[in-house]
A = this chain, B = another copy of it.
Amino acid sequence: MARYIASAVAAFAKRMGFTLGPEAFADAWRAQYQPSMERVRSGVRPFVSLDALHRENLEPVLREQGVDPADGPHRYLDELGNAWHSLPPWPDSVEGILRIKRDFIVGPLSNGNTGLLVDMAKGAGLAWDVVLGSDISRAYKPSPMAYLTPAHFLGLEPGEVMLVAAHNADLAAARQTGLATAYIPRPAELGPNQHRNLAPTADWDLLAESITDLADRLAPAPS
* Chain A residues within 8 Å of B, Cβ to Cβ: 51, 105, 113-116, 118, 121-122, 127, 129-133, 135-136, 153-156
Contacts and interface: CB of A to CB of B under 8 A. Distances in A.
The 7 A-B pairs at the shortest CB distance, nearest first, are namely A115-B155, A114-B153, A115-B154, A118-B130, A130-B131, A136-B136, A118-B129
Most buried by B among A115, A130, A133: A130
A115 B156 contact: yes
B129 A153 contact: no
Nearest to A51: B155
Contacts of A131: 129-131
Number of this chain's copies in the assembly equals 2
Contacts of A155: 51, 113, 115-116
Contacts of A135: 153
A116 to B, nearest CB: 8
A74 B136 CA distance: 32
A70 B173 CA distance: 41
A114 B154 contact: yes
A132 B156 contact: no
B129 A105 contact: no
A114 B132 contact: yes
17 contacts: A51-B155, A105-B118, A105-B122, A113-B153, A114-B130, A114-B132, A114-B153, A115-B153, A115-B155, A115-B156, A118-B130, A118-B154, A121-B129, A122-B129, A129-B131, A130-B130, A136-B153
A136 B154 CA distance: 11
A113 B155 CA distance: 9
